[in-house]
Amino acid sequence: MQLRYLSRKDMEALQISMAEVMEAVEEGFRRKAMGQTQMTAKAFVNPRPGEAGLMSLSAYVGGVDAVGIKWLGTRTAERQPGQPLHTGLVILNDPETTLPICIMDAALVTAMRTAGANGVAMKYLGPARATTGAIVGCGVEGRSNLQSMLTCYPGLAEVRCYDVVAEAAVMFAREAQEQYGVTVTPTSEARTAVVDADVVVTATSTGATPFLKAEWLKEGALATPVDLWGAWEADLAAKVDKLVVDDYGKYDAFRSSERLKDIPKPYAELGEIILGERPGRERPEERALTMMGGLPVQDVVTAHLVYQRAVALDAGVCLPL
């Protein structure tokens, strides 16, 4: 038995498309809604309280028959230029023997699966046609979520982006233009980016004080905040027509905090909508909001997709166990 090690470069070289990630993540949501997944609660350790911590998340996904664990670090204190918010590893195991079969970069898996989950939300809850998108927070998640936005809405005429660090927004816009040929316009204030946008992704760093107002989300628009209540003021949850979550239990945990104790019960889990148990978007004028804290199921199905492609292409380095 061999253990395959995939560096970040190896993973990028596999050229897995966001459409493929969305398909895998959608299957993860479906299996969860069918009761075919097992997940542990996130477990945290904080070697530098208030500055840096790590958490572990593990899951088994039936049907896909994939099992693994993500060990994710988060540095919330000030970072050196280029130092990422999230770091870590994913380990996949053979479900039969339990032997580890693959280790890969968790930061990339996280960026792929979070954007993939938002892409699935856009498919079921987003407007049928979108001409303008907004990205607030132009970091790692802003970049991967731009991919899912463009995958769902290839006809987008314009994307606006805002970051508290103006140069970050300018660099984001330049990169997007070069990579995807899409017009991305940096804005000097958040409101300008969001007002009139059909789809709004917020991906600001943990700790941002909410600064987006509910009335700025236009009729018929979808907001998919990666940063949960980082950017949007919490009353948005009560003002949208449909509030969709990835997991009721996780959402209830948010509601136990003082600031969020008044947020309403959600309309559905995304998996229930995928299964057809609850309707997704029903009217063009509906405003929808997702609150998805991220599930280990999504990490495992995404890592499994990467692993399968790596085996097919014999990518990475095989190490003796």
Assess contact for 86 and 107: CB atoms under 8 A.
yes
Of 30-38, 58-66, 95-103, 290-298, the window that binds ligand NAD (rule: CB under 6 A) is 290-298
Q: Least distance from C-beta 168 to ligand NAD, angstroms?
A: 4
Which tokens in the block code for residue 90?
């994913």
Q: How far, CA to CA in Å, does 70 sit from each of 34, 59, 109, 149, 151?
A: 23, 9, 9, 25, 26
Measure the CA angle with vertex 136, ends 79 and 41; round to 5°. 65
User: Strands 158-162 and 222-225: what pairing?
Assistant: unpaired
Which residues contact residue 169 at a Cβ distance below 8 angstroms, ignoring those fewer than 6 apart? 138, 161, 162, 163, 186, 187
Q: Is 293 in the site for ligand NAD (CB under 6 A)?
A: yes
Count Cα atoms within 13 angstroms, Cβ side, for 206. 14
Of 2-10, 61-69, 138-146, 279-287, the window that binds ligand NAD (rule: CB under 6 A) is 138-146
With respect to ligand NAD, which residue has the nearer C-beta, 127 or 296? 296
Q: Which of 133, 294, 296, 316 binds ligand NAD (CB under 6 A)?
A: 294
**Residue number, nearest CB to ligand NAD:** 139
Of 57-65, 180-188, 198-206, 264-272, the window that binds ligand NAD (rule: CB under 6 A) is 198-206
Q: Is 110 in the site for ligand NAD (CB under 6 A)?
A: yes
Three-state secondary structure call for residue 237: helix
Q: Is 138 in the site for ligand NAD (CB under 6 A)?
A: yes
Q: Which of 37, 114, 148, 151 binds ligand NAD (CB under 6 A)?
A: 114
Q: Least distance from C-beta 240 to ligand NAD, angstroms?
A: 18
Q: Is 55 in the site for ligand NAD (CB under 6 A)?
A: no
Q: Is 168 in the site for ligand NAD (CB under 6 A)?
A: yes
Please state, in angstroms and rounded to a whole number, the distance separating the CA atoms of residues 313 and 301: 18
With respect to ligand NAD, which residue has the nearer C-beta, 303 or 315? 303
Three-state secondary structure call for residue 316: coil
Window 206-225: residues binding ligand NAD (CB under 6 A): 206, 208
In 3D, which of 21, 25, 38, 17 has the Cα closest to residue 270? 25
Q: Which of 52, 55, 85, 89 binds ligand NAD (CB under 6 A)?
A: 85
Q: Which of 204, 224, 290, 302 binds ligand NAD (CB under 6 A)?
A: 204
Q: Which of 88, 119, 139, 280 binds ligand NAD (CB under 6 A)?
A: 139
**Burial degree of 312 (CB within 10 A; 0-12, 13-18, 19+):** exposed
Q: Is 226 in the site for ligand NAD (CB under 6 A)?
A: yes
Please state, in angstroms and rounded to a whole number, the distance separating the CA atoms of residues 32 and 250: 14
Residues lying near ligand NAD in the complex (CB under 6 A) are found at: 85-86, 110, 114, 136-142, 162-165, 168, 203-206, 208, 226-227, 230, 292-294
